Amino acid sequence: MFTLPSVWNIVISTIVFVIAAWYFHRWLQAHGLPKGMTRGLLVFVLAYAVSWASGALVDWSREKMYGPEPVSQTQKNLNEALDLLKTNGITLP
């Protein structure tokens, strides 16, 4: 089930995105890739991938240190409603 990222995930992945974008921009410029939309998109995609991986690593390490986060009441209610639908034979698409 989808869960919201932790605050540390957001902070660290944002910092990593800025650093990675700067690094990839410089690296591609040094290798002679001409400035334009292709280079900009490539920098964005590479920085996004590194940022996403760092955020996933932050959440993984937090879960290893503190254990899984408790399920919220809203999530419990949603799971109960889905179980009720399944027991009545209603399936989701």
Tell me the per-residue pLDDT of 50-64, one tens digit each, with 9 for 90 and over.
Answer: 999 999 999 889 888
- Give the structural domain span for 80: 7-87
Asked if residue 44 belongs to a domain, the reply is yes
**pLDDT by residue (tens digit) across 5-44?**
778 889 999 999 999 999 999 999 999 989 999 999 999 9
Is residue 1 in some structural domain? no
Domain membership flag for residue 92: no
pTM reported for the whole predicted model? 0.70
Number of domains in the chain: 1
- Domain membership of residue 80 (yes or no) is yes
pLDDT tens readout for residues 72-88: 677 777 788 888 888 87
Is residue 76 in a domain? yes
7-30 vs 37-66: helix crossing angle, rounded to 10: 150
